[in-house]
Structure 1
Amino acid sequence: MSGAIGFIGLGVMGEPICRNLMRKSGQPVMAFDLAQEPMARMAADGATAANSVADVVGGSEIVFLCLPSAGHVSSVFEGEAGLLQSVRGGHTVVDLGTSEVGLTRDFARRLAEKGAVWIDAPIARTRQAARDGTLSVMVGASPEHYARLEPLIRHFATDVTLCGATGAGQVTKILNNMVLFETVNALAEAVAIARHSGVEPKLLLETLSKGSADSFALRNHGMKAIVPGEFPLRAFSTEYALKDLSYALDLAAQAGLNPRGAALVRAIFEETIDKGMGGAYFPVIAKLIDAEESGN
Protein backbone atom coordinates (compact mmCIF):
# COMPACT_ATOMS: atom_id res chain seq x y z
CA MET A 1 0.00 0.00 0.00
CA SER A 2 1.46 3.33 -1.01
CA GLY A 3 0.60 6.98 -0.53
CA ALA A 4 -0.23 9.03 2.54
CA ILE A 5 -2.23 7.62 5.43
CA GLY A 6 -5.02 9.86 6.70
CA PHE A 7 -5.82 9.98 10.41
CA ILE A 8 -8.73 11.83 12.04
CA GLY A 9 -8.98 11.99 15.84
CA LEU A 10 -5.88 12.55 17.97
CA GLY A 11 -7.31 11.89 21.41
CA VAL A 12 -6.02 9.72 24.24
CA MET A 13 -5.89 6.65 21.99
CA GLY A 14 -5.72 8.25 18.56
CA GLU A 15 -2.53 10.22 19.04
CA PRO A 16 -0.31 7.26 20.02
CA ILE A 17 -1.92 5.07 17.32
CA CYS A 18 -1.23 7.73 14.71
CA ARG A 19 2.35 8.08 15.95
CA ASN A 20 2.94 4.33 15.70
CA LEU A 21 1.54 4.30 12.16
CA MET A 22 3.81 7.15 11.14
CA ARG A 23 6.95 5.72 12.72
CA LYS A 24 6.53 2.09 11.70
CA SER A 25 4.83 2.19 8.30
CA GLY A 26 7.39 4.38 6.59
CA GLN A 27 4.52 6.21 4.89
CA PRO A 28 3.61 9.88 5.20
CA VAL A 29 0.70 10.62 7.53
CA MET A 30 -1.80 13.46 7.22
CA ALA A 31 -3.57 14.09 10.54
CA PHE A 32 -6.50 16.19 11.70
CA ASP A 33 -8.08 17.03 15.04
CA LEU A 34 -10.06 20.00 16.32
CA ALA A 35 -7.64 20.30 19.26
CA GLN A 36 -4.46 22.15 18.37
CA GLU A 37 -2.16 20.62 20.99
CA PRO A 38 -2.06 17.05 19.62
CA MET A 39 -1.92 18.44 16.09
CA ALA A 40 1.20 20.40 17.02
CA ARG A 41 2.81 17.35 18.63
CA MET A 42 2.14 15.17 15.59
CA ALA A 43 3.44 17.85 13.24
CA ALA A 44 6.60 18.11 15.33
CA ASP A 45 7.03 14.35 14.92
CA GLY A 46 6.73 14.59 11.16
CA ALA A 47 3.05 14.32 10.29
CA THR A 48 1.34 16.76 7.95
CA ALA A 49 -1.26 18.82 9.82
CA ALA A 50 -4.46 18.97 7.75
CA ASN A 51 -6.92 21.84 7.94
CA SER A 52 -10.09 19.78 7.63
CA VAL A 53 -11.63 16.35 7.14
CA ALA A 54 -11.84 17.08 3.43
CA ASP A 55 -8.10 17.83 3.32
CA VAL A 56 -7.33 14.45 4.91
CA VAL A 57 -9.55 12.58 2.48
CA GLY A 58 -8.19 14.47 -0.50
CA GLY A 59 -4.61 13.70 0.46
CA SER A 60 -4.88 9.99 1.22
CA GLU A 61 -6.33 6.71 -0.02
CA ILE A 62 -6.91 5.20 3.40
CA VAL A 63 -8.31 7.17 6.33
CA PHE A 64 -8.36 6.02 9.95
CA LEU A 65 -10.92 7.44 12.36
CA CYS A 66 -10.34 7.32 16.12
CA LEU A 67 -13.26 9.23 17.61
CA PRO A 68 -15.02 9.03 20.98
CA SER A 69 -18.54 8.06 19.91
CA ALA A 70 -20.95 7.33 17.08
CA GLY A 71 -22.08 10.94 17.32
CA HIS A 72 -18.58 12.18 16.58
CA VAL A 73 -18.25 9.71 13.71
CA SER A 74 -21.55 10.91 12.26
CA SER A 75 -20.44 14.53 12.42
CA VAL A 76 -17.29 13.66 10.48
CA PHE A 77 -19.21 11.51 8.00
CA GLU A 78 -22.00 13.96 7.16
CA GLY A 79 -22.02 17.56 5.99
CA GLU A 80 -20.74 19.50 3.02
CA ALA A 81 -17.09 18.92 3.91
CA GLY A 82 -17.58 15.49 5.48
CA LEU A 83 -16.30 12.09 4.50
CA LEU A 84 -19.27 11.15 2.37
CA GLN A 85 -18.94 14.21 0.17
CA SER A 86 -15.15 13.97 -0.06
CA VAL A 87 -14.50 10.29 -0.78
CA ARG A 88 -13.93 8.91 -4.23
CA GLY A 89 -13.78 5.43 -5.68
CA GLY A 90 -10.98 3.37 -4.18
CA HIS A 91 -10.98 5.11 -0.79
CA THR A 92 -10.96 3.02 2.38
CA VAL A 93 -12.21 4.45 5.68
CA VAL A 94 -11.34 2.53 8.87
CA ASP A 95 -13.29 3.24 12.06
CA LEU A 96 -11.21 2.37 15.14
CA GLY A 97 -13.89 3.46 17.60
CA THR A 98 -16.76 1.51 19.12
CA SER A 99 -19.99 2.36 17.37
CA GLU A 100 -23.57 1.19 16.89
CA VAL A 101 -23.77 -1.75 14.50
CA GLY A 102 -26.67 -0.50 12.40
CA LEU A 103 -24.98 2.85 11.88
CA THR A 104 -21.77 1.11 10.87
CA ARG A 105 -23.55 -0.91 8.22
CA ASP A 106 -25.38 2.18 6.96
CA PHE A 107 -22.09 4.06 6.56
CA ALA A 108 -20.64 1.08 4.68
CA ARG A 109 -23.63 0.95 2.33
CA ARG A 110 -23.48 4.67 1.57
CA LEU A 111 -19.75 4.62 0.89
CA ALA A 112 -20.11 1.55 -1.31
CA GLU A 113 -22.48 3.54 -3.52
CA LYS A 114 -19.53 5.83 -4.24
CA GLY A 115 -17.07 2.99 -4.81
CA ALA A 116 -15.43 3.41 -1.40
CA VAL A 117 -15.09 0.98 1.52
CA TRP A 118 -15.98 1.36 5.21
CA ILE A 119 -14.25 -1.04 7.61
CA ASP A 120 -15.04 -1.35 11.30
CA ALA A 121 -11.91 -2.11 13.31
CA PRO A 122 -12.59 -1.16 16.94
CA ILE A 123 -9.62 -1.24 19.29
CA ALA A 124 -9.33 -2.81 22.73
CA ARG A 125 -6.87 -2.52 25.65
CA THR A 126 -5.36 0.44 27.43
CA ARG A 127 -3.75 3.81 26.72
CA GLN A 128 -0.39 2.22 27.46
CA ALA A 129 -1.10 -0.49 24.90
CA ALA A 130 -1.84 2.24 22.36
CA ARG A 131 1.55 3.79 23.13
CA ASP A 132 3.31 0.42 23.00
CA GLY A 133 1.57 -0.71 19.81
CA THR A 134 0.05 -3.74 21.54
CA LEU A 135 -3.65 -3.15 21.03
CA SER A 136 -6.20 -5.79 20.06
CA VAL A 137 -8.26 -4.95 16.97
CA MET A 138 -11.49 -6.65 15.88
CA VAL A 139 -12.19 -6.20 12.20
CA GLY A 140 -15.40 -6.34 10.18
CA ALA A 141 -14.47 -6.60 6.50
CA SER A 142 -14.25 -8.88 3.51
CA PRO A 143 -11.22 -11.21 3.49
CA GLU A 144 -9.76 -9.22 0.58
CA HIS A 145 -10.05 -5.87 2.32
CA TYR A 146 -8.76 -7.38 5.57
CA ALA A 147 -5.66 -8.75 3.83
CA ARG A 148 -4.92 -5.27 2.47
CA LEU A 149 -5.45 -3.52 5.80
CA GLU A 150 -3.91 -5.95 8.30
CA PRO A 151 -0.25 -4.96 7.73
CA LEU A 152 -1.06 -1.36 8.64
CA ILE A 153 -3.01 -2.37 11.74
CA ARG A 154 -0.06 -4.50 12.86
CA HIS A 155 1.91 -1.27 13.35
CA PHE A 156 -0.21 -0.49 16.42
CA ALA A 157 -1.69 -3.88 17.39
CA THR A 158 -0.33 -7.29 18.30
CA ASP A 159 -3.68 -9.09 18.05
CA VAL A 160 -5.77 -8.54 14.92
CA THR A 161 -8.86 -10.65 14.28
CA LEU A 162 -11.13 -10.81 11.26
CA CYS A 163 -14.51 -11.27 12.96
CA GLY A 164 -16.69 -11.41 9.85
CA ALA A 165 -18.33 -9.04 7.40
CA THR A 166 -19.14 -5.37 7.96
CA GLY A 167 -20.35 -4.78 11.53
CA ALA A 168 -18.88 -7.99 12.95
CA GLY A 169 -15.93 -6.13 14.42
CA GLN A 170 -18.32 -3.80 16.26
CA VAL A 171 -20.44 -6.70 17.52
CA THR A 172 -17.35 -8.44 18.90
CA LYS A 173 -15.95 -5.29 20.55
CA ILE A 174 -19.32 -4.37 22.05
CA LEU A 175 -19.61 -7.81 23.63
CA ASN A 176 -15.98 -7.63 24.80
CA ASN A 177 -16.87 -4.45 26.65
CA MET A 178 -20.08 -5.90 28.05
CA VAL A 179 -18.13 -8.78 29.61
CA LEU A 180 -15.47 -6.35 30.89
CA PHE A 181 -18.05 -4.10 32.57
CA GLU A 182 -19.77 -7.01 34.28
CA THR A 183 -16.41 -8.36 35.45
CA VAL A 184 -15.35 -5.01 36.88
CA ASN A 185 -18.63 -4.81 38.78
CA ALA A 186 -17.98 -8.27 40.24
CA LEU A 187 -14.47 -7.19 41.25
CA ALA A 188 -15.82 -4.08 42.97
CA GLU A 189 -18.28 -6.21 44.92
CA ALA A 190 -15.57 -8.72 45.89
CA VAL A 191 -13.22 -5.98 47.09
CA ALA A 192 -15.93 -4.40 49.23
CA ILE A 193 -16.92 -7.70 50.82
CA ALA A 194 -13.27 -8.60 51.47
CA ARG A 195 -12.51 -5.29 53.12
CA HIS A 196 -15.46 -5.62 55.49
CA SER A 197 -14.62 -9.25 56.22
CA GLY A 198 -11.03 -8.74 57.33
CA VAL A 199 -9.17 -9.50 54.08
CA GLU A 200 -6.97 -6.81 52.53
CA PRO A 201 -8.23 -5.99 48.98
CA LYS A 202 -4.79 -6.00 47.36
CA LEU A 203 -4.04 -9.42 48.83
CA LEU A 204 -7.45 -10.65 47.68
CA LEU A 205 -6.90 -9.71 44.05
CA GLU A 206 -3.30 -10.91 44.02
CA THR A 207 -4.53 -14.26 45.27
CA LEU A 208 -7.42 -14.42 42.81
CA SER A 209 -4.97 -13.68 40.00
CA LYS A 210 -3.31 -17.03 40.74
CA GLY A 211 -6.47 -19.03 40.15
CA SER A 212 -9.57 -19.38 38.00
CA ALA A 213 -10.80 -15.84 38.79
CA ASP A 214 -7.80 -14.26 37.08
CA SER A 215 -8.52 -11.83 34.24
CA PHE A 216 -7.24 -8.80 32.40
CA ALA A 217 -9.90 -6.80 34.25
CA LEU A 218 -8.59 -8.01 37.61
CA ARG A 219 -4.96 -7.17 36.87
CA ASN A 220 -5.73 -3.78 35.35
CA HIS A 221 -9.06 -2.34 36.46
CA GLY A 222 -9.06 -4.12 39.81
CA MET A 223 -5.44 -3.75 40.90
CA LYS A 224 -4.74 -0.37 39.31
CA ALA A 225 -8.04 1.42 39.90
CA ILE A 226 -10.40 -0.20 42.41
CA VAL A 227 -7.81 -1.15 45.07
CA PRO A 228 -6.02 2.25 45.16
CA GLY A 229 -9.25 4.18 44.52
CA GLU A 230 -7.84 5.95 41.48
CA PHE A 231 -10.43 6.90 38.85
CA PRO A 232 -8.91 9.65 36.70
CA LEU A 233 -10.63 11.85 34.19
CA ARG A 234 -9.68 11.40 30.52
CA ALA A 235 -9.56 7.67 31.01
CA PHE A 236 -12.42 5.48 29.71
CA SER A 237 -15.28 7.26 31.44
CA THR A 238 -18.51 5.95 32.91
CA GLU A 239 -20.40 7.89 30.25
CA TYR A 240 -18.51 6.12 27.46
CA ALA A 241 -18.96 2.78 29.20
CA LEU A 242 -22.72 3.35 29.38
CA LYS A 243 -22.74 4.16 25.66
CA ASP A 244 -21.00 0.90 24.77
CA LEU A 245 -23.13 -1.17 27.13
CA SER A 246 -26.26 0.35 25.59
CA TYR A 247 -25.09 -0.90 22.19
CA ALA A 248 -24.88 -4.43 23.62
CA LEU A 249 -28.33 -4.22 25.13
CA ASP A 250 -29.71 -2.94 21.83
CA LEU A 251 -28.25 -5.99 20.07
CA ALA A 252 -29.81 -8.23 22.73
CA ALA A 253 -33.21 -6.59 22.28
CA GLN A 254 -33.01 -7.08 18.52
CA ALA A 255 -32.36 -10.77 19.16
CA GLY A 256 -35.21 -11.07 21.66
CA LEU A 257 -32.82 -11.69 24.56
CA ASN A 258 -32.81 -10.33 28.11
CA PRO A 259 -29.24 -10.22 29.52
CA ARG A 260 -30.06 -9.38 33.13
CA GLY A 261 -26.45 -8.99 34.27
CA ALA A 262 -25.76 -6.37 31.62
CA ALA A 263 -29.02 -4.59 32.44
CA LEU A 264 -27.99 -4.42 36.10
CA VAL A 265 -24.62 -2.89 35.23
CA ARG A 266 -26.39 -0.33 33.02
CA ALA A 267 -28.45 0.73 36.04
CA ILE A 268 -25.24 0.99 38.08
CA PHE A 269 -23.62 3.16 35.41
CA GLU A 270 -26.69 5.40 35.29
CA GLU A 271 -26.63 5.81 39.08
CA THR A 272 -22.90 6.60 38.96
CA ILE A 273 -23.52 9.32 36.37
CA ASP A 274 -26.45 10.71 38.41
CA LYS A 275 -24.04 11.07 41.35
CA GLY A 276 -21.73 13.28 39.27
CA MET A 277 -19.09 10.69 38.38
CA GLY A 278 -19.87 10.32 34.68
CA GLY A 279 -16.50 11.72 33.60
CA ALA A 280 -14.44 9.49 35.89
CA TYR A 281 -12.77 6.21 34.87
CA PHE A 282 -15.62 3.70 34.90
CA PRO A 283 -14.34 1.43 37.74
CA VAL A 284 -15.49 4.37 39.87
CA ILE A 285 -18.68 2.30 40.16
CA ALA A 286 -16.85 0.80 43.16
CA LYS A 287 -17.83 3.95 45.07
CA LEU A 288 -21.48 2.95 44.87
CA ILE A 289 -20.74 -0.31 46.67
CA ASP A 290 -18.35 0.92 49.35
CA ALA A 291 -17.20 4.49 49.87
CA GLU A 292 -14.01 3.17 51.50
CA GLU A 293 -12.91 1.88 48.08
CA SER A 294 -12.29 5.45 46.94
CA GLY A 295 -10.04 6.09 49.92
CA ASN A 296 -12.73 8.04 51.77
Structure 2
Amino acid sequence: MSQARLMDGTALARRIVEDTAKRATALTERTGTAPCLATVLVGEDPASVTYVRMKQNRCRKAGITSRHVALPAATTTEELVGTLRALSADPEVHGILLQHPVGEHIDERAAFEAIAPEKDVDGVTFASFATMSFGLPGFVSCTPGGIMRLLDAYDVDPAGKRAVVVGRSAILGKPVGMLLLARDATVTYCHSRTRDLSSAVREADIVVAAVGRPRLIRGQDIKPGAVVIDAGYNAGNIGDVDFDSAVEQAALITPVPGGVGPMTIATLLEQTVHAAERQLGVA
Protein backbone atom coordinates (compact mmCIF):
# COMPACT_ATOMS: atom_id res chain seq x y z
CA MET A 1 0.00 0.00 0.00
CA SER A 2 1.07 3.62 -0.47
CA GLN A 3 2.53 5.70 2.33
CA ALA A 4 0.15 7.29 4.80
CA ARG A 5 -1.10 10.85 4.42
CA LEU A 6 0.26 13.18 7.06
CA MET A 7 -2.27 14.84 9.36
CA ASP A 8 -0.99 18.41 9.39
CA GLY A 9 -1.70 19.75 12.87
CA THR A 10 0.30 22.91 12.20
CA ALA A 11 -1.92 24.07 9.34
CA LEU A 12 -5.17 23.18 11.12
CA ALA A 13 -4.01 24.87 14.33
CA ARG A 14 -3.16 28.02 12.36
CA ARG A 15 -6.72 28.20 11.04
CA ILE A 16 -8.18 27.68 14.52
CA VAL A 17 -5.96 30.39 16.01
CA GLU A 18 -6.89 32.81 13.22
CA ASP A 19 -10.58 32.26 13.97
CA THR A 20 -9.89 32.54 17.70
CA ALA A 21 -8.10 35.86 17.17
CA LYS A 22 -11.14 37.25 15.33
CA ARG A 23 -13.39 36.20 18.19
CA ALA A 24 -11.00 37.73 20.76
CA THR A 25 -10.93 41.02 18.85
CA ALA A 26 -14.71 41.11 18.56
CA LEU A 27 -15.07 40.39 22.28
CA THR A 28 -12.60 43.11 23.22
CA GLU A 29 -14.34 45.66 21.00
CA ARG A 30 -17.75 44.74 22.37
CA THR A 31 -16.90 44.63 26.08
CA GLY A 32 -13.70 46.65 26.42
CA THR A 33 -12.09 43.60 28.04
CA ALA A 34 -9.57 41.32 26.38
CA PRO A 35 -9.61 37.59 27.17
CA CYS A 36 -6.95 36.80 29.78
CA LEU A 37 -5.11 33.52 30.36
CA ALA A 38 -3.13 33.13 33.58
CA THR A 39 -0.23 30.69 33.45
CA VAL A 40 1.24 29.31 36.67
CA LEU A 41 4.68 27.72 36.72
CA VAL A 42 6.32 26.14 39.76
CA GLY A 43 10.12 26.02 39.55
CA GLU A 44 12.32 26.57 36.54
CA ASP A 45 12.19 23.35 34.56
CA PRO A 46 13.71 24.41 31.19
CA ALA A 47 11.15 22.58 29.06
CA SER A 48 8.26 24.03 31.07
CA VAL A 49 9.72 27.55 30.91
CA THR A 50 10.02 27.26 27.12
CA TYR A 51 6.52 25.83 26.80
CA VAL A 52 4.94 28.61 28.89
CA ARG A 53 6.83 31.27 26.92
CA MET A 54 5.54 29.74 23.68
CA LYS A 55 1.98 29.83 25.00
CA GLN A 56 2.39 33.48 25.97
CA ASN A 57 3.62 34.32 22.47
CA ARG A 58 0.67 32.50 20.91
CA CYS A 59 -1.69 34.37 23.23
CA ARG A 60 -0.40 37.70 21.96
CA LYS A 61 -0.91 36.62 18.35
CA ALA A 62 -4.46 35.58 19.17
CA GLY A 63 -5.43 38.81 20.93
CA ILE A 64 -5.37 37.18 24.37
CA THR A 65 -3.76 38.85 27.36
CA SER A 66 -1.45 36.60 29.36
CA ARG A 67 -0.62 36.89 33.03
CA HIS A 68 2.28 34.78 34.21
CA VAL A 69 2.74 33.69 37.81
CA ALA A 70 6.20 32.22 38.50
CA LEU A 71 6.51 30.40 41.81
CA PRO A 72 9.71 29.01 43.39
CA ALA A 73 10.39 25.28 43.27
CA ALA A 74 9.95 25.11 47.06
CA THR A 75 6.32 26.25 46.84
CA THR A 76 4.05 24.07 48.98
CA THR A 77 0.75 22.54 47.97
CA GLU A 78 -1.06 25.00 50.25
CA GLU A 79 0.69 27.97 48.67
CA LEU A 80 -0.04 26.78 45.15
CA VAL A 81 -3.68 26.09 45.99
CA GLY A 82 -3.95 29.60 47.44
CA THR A 83 -2.52 31.13 44.27
CA LEU A 84 -4.92 29.20 42.05
CA ARG A 85 -7.92 30.06 44.20
CA ALA A 86 -6.99 33.74 44.05
CA LEU A 87 -6.78 33.59 40.25
CA SER A 88 -10.11 31.74 40.17
CA ALA A 89 -11.69 34.60 42.12
CA ASP A 90 -10.14 37.33 39.96
CA PRO A 91 -12.72 38.63 37.46
CA GLU A 92 -9.95 39.90 35.17
CA VAL A 93 -8.68 36.33 34.63
CA HIS A 94 -10.80 34.16 32.32
CA GLY A 95 -8.68 31.02 32.00
CA ILE A 96 -6.04 29.33 34.15
CA LEU A 97 -3.25 26.99 33.09
CA LEU A 98 -1.14 25.19 35.69
CA GLN A 99 1.98 24.00 33.88
CA HIS A 100 2.86 20.35 34.46
CA PRO A 101 4.97 19.05 36.23
CA VAL A 102 4.75 20.88 39.54
CA GLY A 103 7.24 18.89 41.62
CA GLU A 104 6.83 15.60 43.44
CA HIS A 105 6.33 17.29 46.82
CA ILE A 106 3.12 18.96 45.59
CA ASP A 107 -0.30 17.31 45.48
CA GLU A 108 -1.02 18.05 41.83
CA ARG A 109 -4.62 16.87 42.00
CA ALA A 110 -5.35 19.22 44.92
CA ALA A 111 -3.83 22.04 42.88
CA PHE A 112 -5.92 21.24 39.81
CA GLU A 113 -9.09 21.15 41.90
CA ALA A 114 -8.37 24.69 43.12
CA ILE A 115 -9.07 25.93 39.60
CA ALA A 116 -12.66 27.09 39.13
CA PRO A 117 -14.39 24.87 36.53
CA GLU A 118 -15.45 27.90 34.47
CA LYS A 119 -11.77 28.87 34.16
CA ASP A 120 -10.39 25.37 33.61
CA VAL A 121 -9.48 25.98 29.97
CA ASP A 122 -6.89 23.18 30.09
CA GLY A 123 -9.57 20.64 31.06
CA VAL A 124 -7.78 19.15 34.08
CA THR A 125 -10.37 19.20 36.87
CA PHE A 126 -12.78 16.49 37.98
CA ALA A 127 -15.62 18.72 36.76
CA SER A 128 -14.15 18.99 33.28
CA PHE A 129 -13.59 15.24 33.04
CA ALA A 130 -17.20 14.62 34.09
CA THR A 131 -18.67 17.05 31.56
CA MET A 132 -16.39 15.60 28.87
CA SER A 133 -17.46 12.06 29.71
CA PHE A 134 -21.17 12.86 29.78
CA GLY A 135 -21.12 15.10 26.71
CA LEU A 136 -22.19 18.17 28.68
CA PRO A 137 -21.04 21.77 28.10
CA GLY A 138 -17.59 22.34 29.54
CA PHE A 139 -13.92 22.31 28.64
CA VAL A 140 -12.14 19.33 27.17
CA SER A 141 -8.56 18.40 27.99
CA CYS A 142 -6.61 20.27 25.35
CA THR A 143 -4.60 17.48 23.76
CA PRO A 144 -7.58 15.08 23.49
CA GLY A 145 -9.71 17.92 22.19
CA GLY A 146 -7.09 18.72 19.59
CA ILE A 147 -6.93 15.07 18.55
CA MET A 148 -10.68 14.98 17.95
CA ARG A 149 -10.46 18.13 15.83
CA LEU A 150 -7.74 16.49 13.75
CA LEU A 151 -9.89 13.42 13.20
CA ASP A 152 -12.78 15.61 12.10
CA ALA A 153 -10.58 17.66 9.76
CA TYR A 154 -9.49 14.49 7.96
CA ASP A 155 -13.02 13.04 7.82
CA VAL A 156 -12.29 10.22 10.25
CA ASP A 157 -15.61 9.23 11.83
CA PRO A 158 -14.91 7.12 14.97
CA ALA A 159 -18.42 5.62 14.96
CA GLY A 160 -18.26 1.84 14.81
CA LYS A 161 -14.47 1.79 14.68
CA ARG A 162 -12.18 0.05 17.12
CA ALA A 163 -9.95 2.58 18.88
CA VAL A 164 -6.96 1.60 20.99
CA VAL A 165 -5.54 4.19 23.39
CA VAL A 166 -2.05 3.37 24.63
CA GLY A 167 -1.73 5.35 27.85
CA ARG A 168 -4.03 6.17 30.75
CA SER A 169 -2.98 9.56 32.10
CA ALA A 170 -5.65 11.76 33.64
CA ILE A 171 -5.25 14.57 31.10
CA LEU A 172 -4.55 12.61 27.91
CA GLY A 173 -5.15 8.86 27.77
CA LYS A 174 -8.31 8.62 29.85
CA PRO A 175 -10.11 11.67 28.42
CA VAL A 176 -9.32 10.92 24.77
CA GLY A 177 -10.82 7.48 25.30
CA MET A 178 -13.98 9.05 26.69
CA LEU A 179 -14.23 11.47 23.77
CA LEU A 180 -13.86 8.60 21.30
CA LEU A 181 -16.46 6.57 23.20
CA ALA A 182 -18.86 9.52 23.04
CA ARG A 183 -18.43 9.41 19.26
CA ASP A 184 -19.46 5.73 19.20
CA ALA A 185 -16.03 4.15 18.87
CA THR A 186 -15.32 0.88 20.66
CA VAL A 187 -12.47 1.86 22.94
CA THR A 188 -9.72 -0.28 24.47
CA TYR A 189 -7.25 1.21 26.94
CA CYS A 190 -3.75 -0.27 27.00
CA HIS A 191 -0.92 0.58 29.38
CA SER A 192 2.36 -0.59 30.88
CA ARG A 193 0.78 -3.77 32.27
CA THR A 194 -1.10 -4.76 29.13
CA ARG A 195 -0.15 -8.26 28.03
CA ASP A 196 0.76 -8.61 24.34
CA LEU A 197 0.33 -4.94 23.50
CA SER A 198 1.17 -5.55 19.85
CA SER A 199 -1.81 -7.86 19.29
CA ALA A 200 -4.18 -5.32 20.86
CA VAL A 201 -2.85 -2.50 18.69
CA ARG A 202 -3.14 -4.62 15.54
CA GLU A 203 -6.93 -4.74 16.03
CA ALA A 204 -7.24 -0.95 16.00
CA ASP A 205 -8.77 1.17 13.27
CA ILE A 206 -7.63 4.21 15.28
CA VAL A 207 -4.48 4.14 17.41
CA VAL A 208 -3.73 6.89 19.92
CA ALA A 209 -0.22 6.56 21.34
CA ALA A 210 0.06 8.55 24.56
CA VAL A 211 2.33 6.60 26.88
CA GLY A 212 5.59 8.56 26.79
CA ARG A 213 7.88 5.78 25.54
CA PRO A 214 9.83 6.52 22.36
CA ARG A 215 8.99 4.41 19.29
CA LEU A 216 6.98 1.93 21.37
CA ILE A 217 4.47 1.33 18.56
CA ARG A 218 6.11 -0.13 15.45
CA GLY A 219 4.90 -0.51 11.90
CA GLN A 220 4.39 -4.24 12.34
CA ASP A 221 1.92 -3.42 15.13
CA ILE A 222 -0.26 -1.28 12.86
CA LYS A 223 -3.28 -2.64 11.03
CA PRO A 224 -3.02 -1.73 7.33
CA GLY A 225 -5.11 1.38 6.68
CA ALA A 226 -5.36 2.42 10.33
CA VAL A 227 -5.32 6.02 11.55
CA VAL A 228 -2.36 6.63 13.85
CA ILE A 229 -2.32 9.56 16.28
CA ASP A 230 1.05 9.99 17.98
CA ALA A 231 0.52 12.11 21.08
CA GLY A 232 3.89 11.18 22.56
CA TYR A 233 6.74 13.60 22.83
CA ASN A 234 10.15 12.38 23.87
CA ALA A 235 13.66 13.84 23.80
CA GLY A 236 14.90 14.53 20.31
CA ASN A 237 11.45 15.18 18.79
CA ILE A 238 10.65 11.47 18.89
CA GLY A 239 7.10 10.25 19.31
CA ASP A 240 5.69 7.07 20.82
CA VAL A 241 5.31 5.64 17.30
CA ASP A 242 8.18 4.50 15.10
CA PHE A 243 7.19 6.84 12.29
CA ASP A 244 9.35 5.43 9.51
CA SER A 245 7.81 1.95 9.75
CA ALA A 246 4.28 3.03 10.73
CA VAL A 247 3.95 5.38 7.76
CA GLU A 248 4.17 2.34 5.48
CA GLN A 249 1.13 0.73 7.13
CA ALA A 250 -1.22 3.53 8.17
CA ALA A 251 -3.67 5.45 6.01
CA LEU A 252 -3.28 8.61 8.08
CA ILE A 253 -0.61 9.49 10.63
CA THR A 254 0.43 12.51 12.68
CA PRO A 255 4.07 13.61 12.51
CA VAL A 256 6.14 14.54 15.57
CA PRO A 257 6.53 17.47 15.71
CA GLY A 258 3.80 19.19 13.75
CA GLY A 259 0.87 16.90 14.51
CA VAL A 260 -0.81 16.85 17.90
CA GLY A 261 1.35 19.52 19.60
CA PRO A 262 0.12 22.59 17.71
CA MET A 263 -3.46 21.42 18.16
CA THR A 264 -3.04 21.35 21.94
CA ILE A 265 -2.13 25.02 22.09
CA ALA A 266 -4.79 26.01 19.56
CA THR A 267 -7.44 24.28 21.67
CA LEU A 268 -6.18 26.05 24.80
CA LEU A 269 -6.47 29.47 23.14
CA GLU A 270 -9.89 28.71 21.67
CA GLN A 271 -11.22 27.57 25.06
CA THR A 272 -9.77 30.66 26.75
CA VAL A 273 -11.74 32.93 24.43
CA HIS A 274 -14.84 30.80 24.92
CA ALA A 275 -14.41 31.07 28.70
CA ALA A 276 -14.10 34.85 28.44
CA GLU A 277 -17.21 35.04 26.26
CA ARG A 278 -19.18 33.08 28.86
CA GLN A 279 -17.90 35.09 31.80
CA LEU A 280 -18.53 38.40 30.06
CA GLY A 281 -22.03 37.29 29.12
CA VAL A 282 -21.68 37.24 25.33
CA ALA A 283 -21.43 33.49 24.65
Fold match (TM-score > 0.5): no
Choose between structure 1 and 2: higher helix proportion.
Answer: 1
Output the TM-score relative to the length of structure 1. 0.32
Output the TM-score relative to the length of structure 2. 0.33
Relative contact order (C-alpha < 8 Å, sep 6+): which is higher?
A: 2
User: Which structure: larger Rg?
Assistant: 1
